[in-house]
Amino acid sequence: MLSRKSEILVDLKAYRENIRHFADILYPTKVLPVIKANAFGHGAVEIAKAAEKESADFFAVAYLEEGVELRDAGISAEILLLNYCSPEYFQKAADYSLTATLHSFSQIESINQIRGRLPKFHIKINTGMNRLGFNPDEAFDAFRMAEEAKMDITGIYSHLATADEEDPTFFIQQYERFENLVAELQKKGFDTGIVHLCNSAASIRFPGRCFDYSRIGISSFGVQPSRFFKDTRLKQVLTFKSCISQVRYLEPGDSVSYGRTFFADENMRVAVVPVGYVDGFDRRLSNKGSVLIGGIPCRVIGRVCMDHFVADISKVNPTPKEGDEVILIGKQGKESISIEQVAEWRETTNSEITSCISYRVPRKYLCDIRESESHFFT
């Protein structure tokens, strides 16, 4: 149902081409698509199905519920839970053939109180992010205790803090800490299983340092992971579009939206658009961002509301009419608005832009064979 003509278009052909591109530049390292947060807002199930067509055999999500959703949809590849899973849910993870992350001694110690099967585990190492993970000097005890508890350890990984920054110094420190630790563990006879470290940024910048798998998240959707370096061969997968719900004419002194933060200083034509901050069009775009109408960039004026925002269409000729297309992210004519541009306006990360587009906006999946739709009202 598209009662307000607002939707997200997800180009699965472009996504598959991006996955294929990473597979080429990273070979023999394999691509591990990260599809947490509903595949960064693109729709995890359809994205996983597309990646499987490109021979992806391992996915990563954040939490158990996301892994269960994929299994219920028929996804058969390995799935790693990157974040915390309470030990009382290890049995459920095992039931759904999900691999959990082991990151603390308390998790290991809790095994004696758990009945039922355990899932497979990847051990996470803290090499400098200082979030989840065993410190390098704790890793040997972690592997030993996990073996004694008869836990099935099938991999080891860490997470990078600064791979997207201009200065690679800390990346190199983290990489060397991890590489040296893995070598020492293997030297002492521990089976480290699958080894993975690099994210999108590191995979683009340092493709030769990616071990067995590389975790590709935001850049698999054609979004640049850094403002300091780019891979211009990536194709943006997502388009966010809506329409004009009303055209209004302002006179000098008229104000727009809550708080009267914008006043017209001349005669103006403006368009009301039925998308608001609850849809993911952030309030920080008030009096700051732009959209495309009639192939012309049109600035957002006044505060973004829950369900609406207003754009200045004074420079668009002929005058747009109710129902005409509005592009919030994507291309229209010769103009385009990238996810990177919206992130700059909002002073946030590229991944937040797509991840925060709400379920209220329907996703339509475009590919070379068919279109499939996933709507909020189903």
Last-in-domain residue among 195, 221, 247: 221
On the question of pLDDT at 370 being above 80, the answer is no
By three-state DSSP, how is residue 29 classified?
A: coil
- pTM for the whole structure: 0.94
- E-strand spans in 218-317? 238-243, 246-250, 255-256, 262-263, 268-273, 290-293, 296-301, 309-312
Percentage of the residues of the chain whose pLDDT score is greater than 90: 94
Q: Same structural domain for residues 35 and 145?
A: yes
Please state, in angstroms and rounded to a whole number, the distance separating the CA atoms of residues 169 and 166.
Answer: 9
Indicate whether 271 and 180 sit together in one domain: no
Q: Is 348 a member of any domain?
A: no
Cis amide leading into 225 (omega within 30) = no
180 and 284, same domain (yes or no): no
pLDDT in tens, 107-116: 999 988 887 8
Looking at residues 34-57, what average pLDDT do you find? 98
**Structure confidence at residue 368 as a pLDDT band (50, 70, 90):** low
The average confidence (pLDDT) of the chain is: 96
36, 133, 195 from 55: Cα distances, Å: 19, 30, 19
Rounded mean pLDDT of 3-26?
97
Looking up tokens 């972690």 gives 142
Q: What average pLDDT score do residues 327-353 get?
A: 97
Residue 3 has pLDDT above 70, yes or no: yes
| pLDDT, tens only, 56-104 | 999 999 999 999 999 999 999 999 999 999 999 999 999 999 999 999 9
Structure tokens at 181: 């630790």
Average pLDDT estimate for 49-58: 97
Question: Please, are residues 261 and 353 in contact by the beta-carbon 8 Å criterion?
Answer: no
- What pLDDT, on the 0 to 100 scale, is given for residue 374? 42
* pLDDT tens, position by position, 353-362: 999 999 999 9
Which CATH number do you get for residue 99? 3.20.20.10
* Angle at 155 (CA atoms; ends 129, 110), nearest 5 degrees: 80
377 pLDDT band (50/70/90 cuts)? very low
* CA nearest neighbour of 289 among 252, 325, 262: 262
Distance of alpha carbon 155 from alpha carbon 215, whole angstroms: 13
Residue pair 241/7 in contact by the 8 Å Cβ criterion: yes
Q: Based on the domain organization, do 207 and 244 belong to the same domain?
A: no
Residue 373 has pLDDT above 50, yes or no: no
Q: Which of 170, 193, 221 is a domain's end point?
A: 221
Candidate from 58-62, 65-69, 216-220, 373-377 with smallest mean pLDDT: 373-377
Assess whether pLDDT exceeds 70 at residue 251: yes
pLDDT of residue 2: 78
Contacts (Cβ under 8 Å, ≥6 apart) of 205: 163, 168, 226, 229
Tell whether the model's pLDDT for residue 275 goes beyond 90: yes
Backbone angles phi, psi at 61, to 5 degrees: -130, 175
Task: Check whether residue 27 and residue 65 sit in a common domain.
Answer: yes
245 shares its domain with 200: no
Instruction: List active site positions.
Output: 36, 258
Cα→Cα distances 142→91, 195, 250, 254, 371, Å: 21, 16, 67, 66, 48
> Domain range holding 251?
238-337
- Distance, CA of 92 to CA of 237 (rounded, Å): 33
Q: Are residue 248 and residue 200 in the same domain, yes or no?
A: no
263 and 174 in one domain? no
Q: How far is CA 17 from CA 153, 237, 284, in A?
A: 33, 10, 33
Of 189, 221, 253, the residue that ends a domain is: 221
**Residue at 172: amino acid letter:** I
Ramachandran quadrant class, 205 (left: phi over 0; alpha: psi -120 to 50; beta: rest): alpha
Residue 349 lies in a domain: no
Residues 177 and 321 both lie in one domain? no
Q: What is the pLDDT of residues 157-183, one digit of tens each?
A: 999 999 999 999 999 999 999 999 999
Query: Do 153 and 282 have their domain in common?
Result: no
The answer to whether residue 354 sits within a structural domain is no
Residue 168 lies in a domain: yes
Sequence-distant (≥ 6) Cβ neighbours of residue 184 within 8 angstroms: 140
Confidence of residue 295 (pLDDT cuts 50, 70, 90): very high
Checking if the pLDDT of 320 tops 50, the result is yes
How many structural domains compose the chain? 2
In a domain, 363, yes or no: no
Q: What is the CATH number of the domain that holds 258?
A: 2.40.37.10
377 in any annotated domain = no
The reply to whether 24 falls in a domain is: yes
Q: 287 is written with which tokens?
A: 């009096």
Residue 227 falls within a domain, yes or no? no
CA dihedral 110, 111, 112, 117 (to 10 degrees): 150
Mean pLDDT in residue range 309-328 = 98
Q: In whole angstroms, give the CA distance from residue 200 to residue 222.
A: 11
Burial of residue 82 (CB within 10 Å: 0-12, 13-18, 19+) is buried
Whether 212 and 83 map to the same domain: the answer is: yes
Please check whether residues 216 and 243 belong to one and the same domain.
Answer: no
